[in-house]
Amino acid sequence: MNWDADRIPDQSGRTVVVTGANSGLGFEASRALAAADAHVVLACRSTDRGRDAASRVREETPDASLELLELDLADLASIRSFAERFERRHDDLDVLVNNAGIMAIPRRETEDGFEMQFGVNHLGHFALTGLLLDSVLAADDPRVVTVSSGVHTRGKMRFGDLHGEVEYDEWGAYAQSKLANLLFAYELQRRFEASDADALSVAAHPGYAATNLQGRAPEMQGSRLRGLLMNLANRLFAQSAEQGVLPTLYAATAPDVVGGAYYGPDGFMEMRGGPERVESSERSHDQDAARRLWEYSENATGVTYSLPVPTRA
Ligand SMILES: NC(=O)c1ccc[n+]([C@@H]2O[C@H](COP(=O)([O-])OP(=O)(O)OC[C@H]3O[C@@H](n4cnc5c(N)ncnc54)[C@H](OP(=O)(O)O)[C@@H]3O)[C@@H](O)[C@H]2O)c1
For the annotated catalytic residues, the residue numbers are: 174
Contact (Cβ atoms closer than 8 angstroms) between residue 53 and residue 22: yes
Three-state SS at 67:
strand
Burial class (CB in 10 A: 0-12, 13-18, 19+), 276: middle
Q: Could you give the domains of the chain?
A: 12-301 (3.40.50.720)
Ligand 1 centroid–CA 102 distance in Å is 5
Three-state SS at 23:
coil
What are 14-27's pLDDT values in tens digits? Answer: 999 999 999 999 99
Stretch 217-241: mean pLDDT, rounded?
A: 87
Quick one: which atom of ligand 1 is closest to the CA of 120? 31
CA gap 156, 166 in Å, rounded: 15
Q: Is the CB of 72 under 6 A from ligand 1?
A: yes
Stretch 118-145: mean pLDDT, rounded?
A: 98
DSSP 8-state symbol, 139: S
Give the number of other Cβ atoms within 10 Å of residue 91's Cβ: 9
Q: Is the CB of 22 under 6 A from ligand 1?
A: yes
Q: What pLDDT does 216 receive? A: 82
Q: What pLDDT does 233 receive? A: 85
Q: Is the CB of 157 under 6 A from ligand 1?
A: no
In which region does residue 126 sit, left (phi positive, over 0), alpha (psi from -120 to 50) or beta (all else)? alpha
Q: What pLDDT does 215 receive? A: 83
CA gap 211, 215 in Å, rounded: 8
CA gap 40, 249 in Å, rounded: 13
CA gap 57, 29 in Å, rounded: 10
Q: What pLDDT does 309 receive? A: 87
Q: Indicate which residue's Cα is closest to atom 23 of ligand 1.
A: 20
pLDDT band at 76 (very low <50, low <70, confident <90, very high): very high
CA gap 217, 106 in Å, rounded: 7
Q: Is the CB of 100 under 6 A from ligand 1?
A: yes
Q: Is the CB of 248 under 6 A from ligand 1?
A: no
Quick one: which atom of ligand 1 is closest to the CA of 238? 3
313 pLDDT higher than 70: no
Of all helices (H) and strands (E), which one includes residue 265?
strand 262-265
> Read out DSSP for 157-170?
--TTSTT-SS---H
Stretch 271-277: mean pLDDT, rounded?
A: 96
Burial class (CB in 10 A: 0-12, 13-18, 19+), 77: exposed
What are 89-106's pLDDT values in tens digits? Answer: 999 999 999 999 999 999
Q: Indicate which residue's Cα is closest to atom 20 of ligand 1.
A: 213
CA gap 45, 155 in Å, rounded: 27
219 pLDDT higher than 90: no
What are 146-169's pLDDT values in tens digits? Answer: 999 999 999 999 999 999 999 999
CA gap 121, 141 in Å, rounded: 25
111 pLDDT higher than 70: yes
**CA-wise closest residue to 5 among 26, 27, 33:** 33
Ligand 1 centroid–CA 85 distance in Å is 23
CA gap 40, 169 in Å, rounded: 36
- Of 76-90, 103-117, 232-246, the poorest mean pLDDT is in 232-246
Q: What pLDDT does 235 receive? A: 87
Q: What pLDDT does 83 receive? A: 98
CA gap 3, 179 in Å, rounded: 26
Quick one: which atom of ligand 1 is closest to the CA of 174? 47
Q: What pLDDT does 228 receive? A: 87
Q: What pLDDT does 161 receive? A: 98
Stretch 272-289: mean pLDDT, rounded?
A: 97
CA gap 187, 189 in Å, rounded: 5
Q: What pLDDT does 110 receive? A: 98
Backbone φ and ψ for 277, nearest 5 degrees, come out as -75, 130
7 pLDDT higher than 90: yes
Q: What share of the chain is helix, strand, coil (3-state, %, to 5)?
A: 50, 15, 40
Q: What pLDDT does 222 receive? A: 85
CA gap 163, 158 in Å, rounded: 9
In percent, the amount of the chain with pLDDT more than 90 equals 88
Q: Kindly report the average pLDDT of the chain as a whole number.
A: 96
DSSP 8-state symbol, 209: B
Q: Is the CB of 26 under 6 A from ligand 1?
A: yes
Ligand 1 centroid–CA 248 distance in Å is 13
Q: Indicate which residue's Cα is closest to atom 39 of ligand 1.
A: 23
**CA-wise closest residue to 8 among 123, 143, 126:** 143
